[in-house]
Structure 1
Amino acid sequence: MYLFGLIKGDLTSRAGSISFSFFMAIFPALLFVLNLIPYIPIENFTETFSRFVESAMPESSQEFLMSIYSDIQSHQRGGLLSSSFLLSIFFMGNGISAIFAGFQGSYHIKVTRSFIRQYIYSVVVGLVLSLLLVLAAAMYILFLVYLRNAYSKIDLLDISYWIFSFKLLFTILVALIFSSLLYYAGTPGGRSQRFFKPGSIMTSLLFLVTTYLFGIYIAKFSNYNELYGSIGALLVLMLYIYINAIVLLLGFELNAALSQLKKK
């Protein structure tokens, strides 16, 4: 049933739609988060958050993405009620709405929401995800500081091992929470199931694997920059988003297939 749903559900077309809309929503989401950062009571949080965002991107796209991030930060205007802030919420809602539309395009999904209802859900989920991103960055920073302080007082074997282990577990946990929230709110039937589902676990692990393999591919086999110049970084970023859109749909299809099996 799972494979049948993947074939009938036109997975690649849905992933393409999601990746384009999500790419368009990235920078409005960053603008939204940058308006929240001044309210975070952590010293030098802006600089540390930029490094946190940078570490989540493919290496060849980091310079391209961070140049736009820096430009948004330097030209930031207004506060929580500014027109740019409200516009960022609108575009962020569009990106989440595209993800939900991709979920509802599944072969296993028969009940869908109205446009207005889905957009309201999309905006709310987008806001929650942005707040979770800021919270995750704050927790990430505080725990690294705690780990380094503990290392200076306790004779740990190797702090690099502990930092690597923490980053690995932290990435899996964040991916699990984010994907679970999207699956939970993405369809009308999602809230009738438990929050953490098998598809969320699969998505989290696949995200880690594909990110690692994609990094190796870009570093050793890809020649995007030689072929396309500076625009190669943009293509790499879009390809990275497209791959993870497929991963997100694979996890959703697993949840949908298991839900159908339970009903029979």
Structure 2
Amino acid sequence: MSEQHKKDCVDLNISSTLDEVGSTMSDPTTTPGNGAGNVIAHVPVTLAQRTINTTLSANIHFDDPVLEIKDVKKRVKIIQSSLMLNPVAEGESPFGPNGGGHLFVRGFVRKNFQYASPTYRASDNCVTSEMRSHTVDLPFEFSTFIPEDEFLTPPQRPVLNSRSEYEFFRSQKLGKGFPEKDRFLSSDLSQFHQTSTQYYNQLPYCELISSSISEWDEATDRKPLHGEAPFEEGYFHDMVEKMFLSFTVKVLQNQQIVLDVANNGNGNGD
């Protein structure tokens, strides 16, 4: 097969202009309701939305000398979030009074420092520097309590697993030294019988909505530049940072809800 033929097989005449084509409305396929016009859906529901405030403090070290910080880019990263709810026993309603729950959150604040680092010619009266970057993760971990009356939707509390043992009666001979008519009456120690039930509960989870960071950075080992550099110029390797962190999270849980499809999902029929 020639090279020209290979080229013709894949060569497409592609225009940079897109033609507008027509389209028509198509009816979607919907789930029919039961006799009352309802369907049961398994969907995420919002349990709560919380704005959380916390503070952080950290000592940050730069391998290269820092003449001046030019910019700092920040990003909040949540790596673990869990809502601890009081469980219920088997047979109890998981949507009953819950007494509130503790939300545990763990994560990092990613900070990228863009800074000027003095070069070997920085001792001249004209300071020369190079742009560099330094990225650190500042960890945080805390818990916050959500009162029962502040849940937007009642959480489905976990149901406890159950485990029960049962035994069978057994009559045995006592052996030598006992009257023949006497018997040992008890359960059989050579057997073990048990019934158990496990519940696979829906775990609440979080989504990050927004975050806000206020910070204060201060060098702790700043030294003046040597030579004929201007007296106010200096460099440092270590700084202390204090940060006020505020972010909003949405707490969700997959639950089974009833939708009124006869009234476009409006359960009250309005």
Indicate the TM-score class for this superposition, using the shorter chain for normalisation. Answer: under 0.3
Q: Give 1 or 2: higher helix fraction.
A: 1
* TM-score in terms of structure 1 length: 0.21
Which has the larger Rg? 2
Q: Give 1 or 2: higher strand fraction.
A: 2
